[in-house]
Amino acid sequence: MPRQARSKVGILGIPFSKGQPKGGAEMGPEILRRAGLVSRIKRFDYQVVDHGDIEIESIPGDKPDGNVKNPRSVGRANKKISDKVASIVKSKELCLNLGGDHSIAIGSIHGHCRAEPGLVVVWVDAHADINTPLSSPSGNMHGMPLSLLVKELADRFSPVEGFDWCKPCIHVRDIVYIGLRDVDEGERWIIDQFGIPAYSMQEIDKMGIKEVMHHALKNLDPNGTRPIHLSFDVDGLDPTITPSTGTPVLGGLNIREGQYIMEELANTGRLSAIDIVEVNPLLGSEKDNMVTAETTISVIEKCFGSKRGGYYPASYVFPSL
């Protein structure tokens, strides 16, 4: 028996960008709110609670820990994110996190795990974001969130400064990837070594998005009972439709594939937390930002029951004489 879908959405802004070097990702929540995200979600059968933006403290003189940049800033912010997400999920809200760069997924998945220990992760992204501090070519933590969360990689690197609070809470096989097309060597090794189901753009071209979603969800949770954490990097979509982002890669998901992924996830009734990350308005023109925000909202709203074939809320009354 599938669990009952959550009836409330808790929106949490996370204006954090120290997981990568480019300024502007901290403006993601603002740009999505300004483009009408909250009112768009209110049209559906959810009670919307806006928790505002989380307050991020800056840590001056945050020296690298080995290869890892800004470890204490990322660690401190994510501890806070974990606490907040845990409390939102515990209060039975579907937690919608507006990033921020993708390093915020460390705290959001960690906090989600505290409330829902049996969760699975759907990672929609051009990148695998599972480098360890040792395998990462850049040292930017937005490319490492999953390595800090999975139990199987804990013995592959030393604890990172600022992350003593963060114990791995998922297994590699609790993850499925969709949309990959820029994967580092160490990341590919991890995917092969542990057999992580990974649907790159090649599989999407070969199988079509319908088959990919069917297999992805079956692979992850054959019985279809576990809560789902969707971590959605807007660079999973093609840069022609989400140009305002930090690490765009050509050849991404088109708008219809993006919408279909979300519709299928909504149909499970098991979504309990969502991250939307890497919207960066400082990297695009005003028009780019409008396109990026509109694309992102039109995809994300499908998580809340918006249907391309038309829709009315449970409260709808058909006008009659």
List residues near Mn ion by CB under 5 A.
102, 125, 127, 129, 233
The answer to whether 125 is a known catalytic residue is: yes
CA distances, 58 to each of 15, 17, 55, 65, 115 (Å) = 12, 11, 10, 17, 27
Nearer to Mn ion, 102 or 229 (CB): 102
> Among residues 93, 203, 278, 301, which one is catalytic?
278
Nearer to Mn ion, 129 or 263 (CB): 129
Least distance to Mn ion from the beta carbon of 48, Å? Answer: 26
Does 129 appear as a known binding residue? Answer: yes
> Among residues 26, 62, 116, 127, which one is catalytic?
127
Tokens of 173: 């096989």
Does 102 appear as a known binding residue? Answer: yes
Tokens of 299: 């995809």
> Among residues 142, 257, 263, 301, which one is catalytic?
142
Backbone angles phi, psi at 144, to 5 degrees: -125, 0
Tokens of 122: 């759907």
Does 155 appear as a known binding residue? Answer: no
Contact 108, 129 (CB under 8 A): no
Nearer to Mn ion, 48 or 106 (CB): 106
Does 235 appear as a known binding residue? Answer: yes
The answer to whether 142 is a known catalytic residue is: yes
Task: List alpha helices for 102-254, DSSP H.
Answer: 104-115, 145-149, 185-194, 201-207, 209-220
Least distance to Mn ion from the beta carbon of 129, Å? Answer: 5
Contact 10, 91 (CB under 8 A): yes
The answer to whether 235 is a known catalytic residue is: yes
DSSP per residue over 47-116, as a string?
Answer: EEEEEEEPPPPP-TT---BTTBSSHHHHHHHHHHHHHHHHHHHHTTEEEEEEESSTTHHHHHHHHHHHH-
> Among residues 53, 235, 264, 301, which one is catalytic?
235
Nearer to Mn ion, 247 or 306 (CB): 247
The answer to whether 65 is a known catalytic residue is: no
The answer to whether 161 is a known catalytic residue is: no
The answer to whether 185 is a known catalytic residue is: no
**Segment (H or E) for 40:** helix 37-42
The answer to whether 214 is a known catalytic residue is: no
Does 125 appear as a known binding residue? Answer: yes
Catalytically annotated residues: 102, 125, 127, 129, 142, 233, 235, 278
Residues at the binding site for Mn(2+) are: 102, 125, 127, 129, 233, 235
